[in-house]
Amino acid sequence: DAGVTQSPTHLIKTRGQQVTLRCSPKSGHDTVSWYQQALGQGPQFIFQYYEEEERQRGNFPDRFSGHQFPNYSSELNVNALLLGDSALYLCASSLVGITMNTEAFFGQGTRLTVV
């Protein structure tokens, strides 16, 4: 059973560029959440997708956007990259609607470096 997979694993971009990160959830999961983890910090919630809609959003600017596809996979897009966007981006999947007791499974993340 494949867990949560993210691509690419590493990425280097220039300031002002745009980037797309991809996530495939664990088999059977229908909800994808994205987190940004700056160096030496805990992950910060960016947003969550369920039924192809953004359901909840953290304190991130509109430069951060996303999408969920019918197969539950998701993309995170960041426009007009800033040096401060350099971080590890984590994707987590879970199953909605059964009980509160659904744990989130994380991928290995995408390390984004903006130069």
Partner 1 sequence: AQTVTQSQPEMSVQEAETVTLSCTYDTSESDYYLFWYKQPPSRQMILVIRQEAYKQQNATENRFSVNFQKAAKSFSLKISDSQLGDAAMYFCAYRSGTGTASKLTFGTGTRLQVTL
Residues of the shown chain interacting with partner 1 in the complex, contacts defined by CB under 8 A: 31, 33, 35, 40-45, 48, 50, 55-56, 58, 88, 90, 92, 94, 96-97, 99-109, 111
Angle made by CA atoms 45, 51, 57, in degrees to the nearest 5: 25
Residue 95 Cβ, how far from partner 1 at the closest point, in Å?
A: 9
Instruction: Using the minimum distance from each CB to partner 1, give the nearer residue, 15 or 57.
Output: 57
For 18, counting Cβ atoms within 10 Å of its Cβ (0-12 exposed, 13-18 middle, 19+ buried), the class is exposed
Q: Which amino acid is at 48?
A: Q
CB of 106 to partner 1, least distance (A): 4
For partner 1, the closer CB: 14 or 99: 99
